Amino acid sequence: MSKSTIYQIAEQVGVSASTVSRALSGNGYCGRRTKAKIMEAAKALNYAPDHAAKILKTRKTNKIIFAVPDICNPFYFDMINGINQVAEEYGYLLILYYTKHRLSEELKAIQNVKERVADGMIMVSFHFCEENISAINDLSAPVVLTNQYESPGGGDRFDYVYVDTFEGTKQGTKHLIGQGLKRIGFIGGSLSEQTGRQRFGGYREALLEAGLPYTEEHVIESDYTEKGGYLAAKRLLESNGRPHAIVAANDLMAIGVMHACEEAGLSIPEDMAVVGMDNLDVASRVHPKLTSVSLEQEDIGRRAAQILMDRLHGRAGYEKAVKIVPKLVVRQSSVRMH
Amino acid sequence: MSKSTIYQIAEQVGVSASTVSRALSGNGYCGRRTKAKIMEAAKALNYAPDHAAKILKTRKTNKIIFAVPDICNPFYFDMINGINQVAEEYGYLLILYYTKHRLSEELKAIQNVKERVADGMIMVSFHFCEENISAINDLSAPVVLTNQYESPGGGDRFDYVYVDTFEGTKQGTKHLIGQGLKRIGFIGGSLSEQTGRQRFGGYREALLEAGLPYTEEHVIESDYTEKGGYLAAKRLLESNGRPHAIVAANDLMAIGVMHACEEAGLSIPEDMAVVGMDNLDVASRVHPKLTSVSLEQEDIGRRAAQILMDRLHGRAGYEKAVKIVPKLVVRQSSVRMH
DNA sequence: TTTTGAGATGGAATCGATTCCAGAACGGGT
DNA sequence: ACCCGTTCTGGAATCGATTCCATCTCAAAA
């Protein structure tokens, strides 16, 4: 049987539509007996409220959009998970919008918010530029970004939540230093990109703080792939005074490092300690299990969603910019057993 | 500047709202000059169509719901990816609904469809029962399930797309047999569940077809975890006439098997060939790389979404039930080099 | 008995776009 | 000059729920 409207219920019961609306929504007065009859009729007529009509009148969609550059990347799954936890708690549905690393798609996502498809948006932007920013600032709906960003004028309307990857590699490096290791190599991404520089910076600072010498030969720029890590590690192993530990800027490269060591007959962690970053599933599945810096994606998602909810409910006390501190997960690859 | 409505544009330009609607949507006649003025005013007034109003009138939300039991499971992310590819092609947005393996949440997802939050739904149901099925059949919107299911009366309104896991383990086992291996063990899940029985069945049939003897001692029921696979493998390795190959009902258990072999000093694939199932990311990251049966999740998603779109657009020619054939991905763990 | 106010209800406007229908304008062909 | 069909436009209804406002009832307080 197809569903019905409040008008049909009203007719059936013999009351006005306003009364039916009040009875069903609970807003406003409604007599006990009338209410019971309305409820009964609603059931009998297979009533379900029409979402679109409700939205049109109330201006609330109870949906949020998560605009994500890459749907295939496990990194973002955890964010989705975190976002959904909070969204659900507040009774919001989550719309996934796949931007494919394209500015045009990011703008379309913003347009969706403008058309009131959703009440707010969380976005991982890969094209953080004037066009983008002004489009977001033009929205009346709140937006939370997960980019690190210093607002030049300070007048931006959005908030952001980001991970401090500098702190991440710093923690990883300090952990190795704490294990008594002194010659520590670093395999990162390109230093011409911000991401690459940040991760390198943390490694560099940990050495500095510990008063350890910095050897340029022990730092290799690679490409975040397993193969890249493997090749980089081979070079490090051939360098004179080879390092006894390696910090890799992500887990895939760290796994490449492990394979290179295995091939060279070096055992991990005895001959070479390894630390990765991202804390992918695979980190705990390789042998030996890989110590890795978790970027706390789920937490990013949760915090971003929380800020969005705070904004949507006009609550005060949220922070415009939240910095998430990564968390070192120590496993076998970096701890020598005695 | 906040956005405006067609009425404001109409007033600005000095025409009626109907004309503005026609100009902007392109449905119906509109003079060239008027249209130009309307477009200009729309831009000037920062116009964006109101989604809710449009839905209310047109009865089309251009959204579909994907109800998924587990947001953390990478298995489903590939499905999401597949669904999204098709949804996007047709201009639909994807709403993710996390059912947490709970019937009550599945019913809520169905309720959402009833309230016209979305035009249709794809659901991975873990509670396929009378209550569920009748709720789905009551909907006027189309639903595609990814469960294998034989409609008892044949009167069900939904369609389904599912993977033939029986065929999957059969392929994996046949592949090993094709490598000249004769003593092949099997590590599966509980045989009291349908999933477990299907996967075991494929293994059994492959042996039968090849005329190989079936040894009960070489079949172990485990629990789909890495540790479970590890323990099961240890038992297999101790059995008399230990197998030279093992088919594991999923990749996690296969990885456990690999660790057990490593520990026992057996090299893979020379002393023991291993085949897994699911083709997780990690399968291609372990050493040696794991041969695995891909359940083609992305394809499931695509097919399901395609059927949904066909239904939504009243196209004929779709199939009510689509069986996806899994695909064996051969890697190092099962191929002896000569 | 009168006053008062809480509770219950109906009427009507509203949210913003779409679309049917009627009528106006316009141009080409006779 | 007239007719006719095409193109253009405005008015009004519609989608379904919410909500403000006015009215009405009824019981308790004065």
Determine which of A64-73, A212-221, B100-109, B303-312 has the lowest per-residue pLDDT on average.
Answer: A64-73
Q: Min CA distance, B210 vs chain A (Å)? A: 34
Determine the pLDDT at residue A193: 85
Determine the pLDDT at residue A151: 67
3-state SS assignment for residue A82:
helix
β partners of residue A66: A96, A122
CA atoms of A126 and A142, how far apart (whole Å)? 19
Å separating the CA of residue B11 from the C1' of nucleotide D18: 27
Residue B136 phi, psi (nearest 5): -70, -40
Q: Which residues of chain B have a CB within 8 Å of the CB of A108?
A: none
Mean pLDDT value of segment A248-269: 95
Are A163 and A300 contacting, i.e. CB atoms less than 8 angstroms apart?
yes
Are B96 and A95 in contact (CB < 8 Å)? yes
Are B228 and B197 contacting, i.e. CB atoms less than 8 angstroms apart?
no
* A73-82, B23-32, B99-108: which is most confident: B99-108
Q: With 70 as the cut, is the pLDDT of residue B153 above it?
A: no
Of all residues in chain B, the percent with pLDDT exceeding 90 is 83
Q: Min CA distance, B115 vs chain A (Å)? A: 5
Grade residue A318 by pLDDT with cuts at 50, 70 and 90.
low
Å separating the CA of residue A108 from the C1' of nucleotide D27: 60
Domain spanning A6-58: CATH superfamily? lambda repressor-like DNA-binding domains (1.10.260.40)
| Contact with chain B for residue A250, Cβ under 8 A | no
Å separating the CA of residue B30 from the C1' of nucleotide C29: 25
Structure-derived torsion over alpha carbons of residues A141, A147, A152, A155, reported in degrees to the nearest 10: 20
Determine which of A65-79, B99-113, B114-128 has the lowest per-residue pLDDT on average.
Answer: A65-79
Q: Which nucleotide is nearest to B16 (CA to C1')?
A: D10
Q: With 70 as the cut, is the pLDDT of residue B338 above it?
A: no
Determine the pLDDT at residue B72: 80
Structure-derived torsion over alpha carbons of residues B34, B40, B41, B42, reported in degrees to the nearest 10: 110
What tens digit of pLDDT does each residue of A92-128 get? 999 999 999 999 999 999 999 999 999 999 999 988 8
Mean pLDDT value of segment A312-320: 79
Amino acid at A236: L
Determine the pLDDT at residue B214: 95
Q: Is the CB of B288 under 7 A from strand C?
A: no
- Helix then strand then coil, in percent of chain A rounded to 5, is 45, 15, 35
Grade residue B229 by pLDDT with cuts at 50, 70 and 90.
very high
β partners of residue B188: B221
Q: Which residues of chain A have a CB within 8 Å of the CB of B248?
A: none
Q: With 80 as the cut, is the pLDDT of residue B259 above it?
A: yes
Q: Which nucleotide is nearest to B47 (CA to C1')?
A: C16
Determine the pLDDT at residue A254: 97
Mutate to test the interface with A, among B58, B59, B73, B95 (most CBs of A within 10 A): B95
Q: Which residues of chain B have a CB within 8 Å of the CB of A3?
A: 114, 140
The answer to pTM > 0.85 is: yes
Three-class DSSP labels, chain B: CCCECHHHHHHHHCCCHHHHHHHHHCCCCCCHHHHHHHHHHHHHCCECCCHHHHHHHHCCCCEEEEEECCCCCHHHHHHHHHHHHHHHHCCCEEEEEECCCCHHHHHHHHHHHHCCCCCEEEECCCCCCHHHHHHHHHCCCCEEECCCCCCCCCCCCCEEEEECHHHHHHHHHHHHHHCCCCCEEEEECCCCCHHHHHHHHHHHHHHHHHCCCCCHHHEEECCCCHHHHHHHHHHHHHCCCCCCEEEECCHHHHHHHHHHHHHCCCCCCCCCEEEEECCCHHHHCCCCCCEEEECCHHHHHHHHHHHHHHHHCCCCCCCCEEEECCEEECCHHHCCCC
> B200-212 burial, b for 16+ CB within 10 Å, e for fewer?
bbbbbbbbeeeee
Mean pLDDT value of segment A21-35: 92
Q: Among all chains, which residue has been given the structure tokens 């520590």? A: A184
B226 → chain A, closest CA residue? A285
Å separating the CA of residue B191 from the C1' of nucleotide D17: 52
Q: With 90 as the cut, is the pLDDT of residue A320 above it?
A: no
Determine which of A196-200, A328-332, B238-242, B314-318 has the lowest per-residue pLDDT on average.
Answer: B314-318
Mean pLDDT value of segment B13-34: 93
Mean pLDDT value of segment B205-219: 96
Contacts of A180 (CB under 8 A, 6+ apart): none
Q: With 70 as the cut, is the pLDDT of residue A322 above it?
A: yes
The domains of chain A are located at 6-58, 63-163+297-324, 165-295+328-334
Q: With 90 as the cut, is the pLDDT of residue B316 above it?
A: no
DSSP letter string over A24-58? HH--S---HHHHHHHHHHHHHTTB---HHHHHHHH
Grade residue A196 by pLDDT with cuts at 50, 70 and 90.
very high
Nucleotides of D under 7 A from a protein CB: 7-12, 14-20
CA B125 to each of CA A96, B74, B284: distance values in angstroms, whole numbers, following the listed order: 20, 17, 29
CA atoms of B320 and B155, how far apart (whole Å)? 11
Are B115 and A49 in contact (CB < 8 Å)? yes
Q: Measuring CA to CA, which residue among A95, A173, A176 is closest to residue A141?
A: A95
Are A262 and B52 in contact (CB < 8 Å)? no
| Residues 273-332 in A contacting B (C-alpha not used; CB under 8 Å) | 281-282, 285-287
| Contact with chain A for residue B129, Cβ under 8 A | no
- In this chain, the answer to whether the domains covering A63-163+297-324 and A165-295+328-334 adopt an identical fold is yes
Grade residue B320 by pLDDT with cuts at 50, 70 and 90.
confident
Mean pLDDT of chain A: 93
Mean pLDDT of chain B: 93
| Contact with chain A for residue B226, Cβ under 8 A | yes
Grade residue A336 by pLDDT with cuts at 50, 70 and 90.
confident
Contacts of A18 (CB under 8 A, 6+ apart): none
Determine the pLDDT at residue A332: 96
Q: Which residue has the higher pLDDT, A143 or B150?
A: A143
CA atoms of A3 and A42, how far apart (whole Å)? 10
Determine the pLDDT at residue B193: 85
Mean pLDDT value of segment A204-208: 98
Å separating the CA of residue A18 from the C1' of nucleotide D22: 14
Whether the link from the prior residue into A288 is cis, omega within 30° of 0, is yes
Mean pLDDT value of segment B237-249: 94
Q: Is the CB of A34 under 7 A from strand C?
A: yes
**Fold (CATH) for A165-295+328-334:** Rossmann fold (3.40.50)
Mean pLDDT value of segment B190-212: 94
R_g (Cα) of chain A, nearest Å? 27
H or E element, residue A272 = none
Determine the pLDDT at residue A113: 98
Q: Is the CB of A313 under 7 A from strand C?
A: no
For A63-163+297-324, give the CATH class. alpha beta
| Contact with chain A for residue B270, Cβ under 8 A | no
| Contact with chain B for residue A9, Cβ under 8 A | no
Q: Measuring CA to CA, which residue among A338, A1, A122, A200 is closest to residue B140?
A: A1
Out of B50, B71, B281, the one facing A80 most closely (by C-beta) is B71
Q: Which nucleotide is nearest to B34 (CA to C1')?
A: D8
Grade residue A70 by pLDDT with cuts at 50, 70 and 90.
confident
Grade residue A319 by pLDDT with cuts at 50, 70 and 90.
confident
Mean pLDDT value of segment A330-337: 92
Q: With 70 as the cut, is the pLDDT of residue B328 above it?
A: yes
Å separating the CA of residue A252 from the C1' of nucleotide D20: 62
Q: With 80 as the cut, is the pLDDT of residue B155 above it?
A: no
Ordered alpha helix ranges (H), A90-148: 103-114, 130-138
What is the number of CB-based contacts under 8 A between chain A and chain B?
Answer: 113
3-state SS assignment for residue A125:
coil
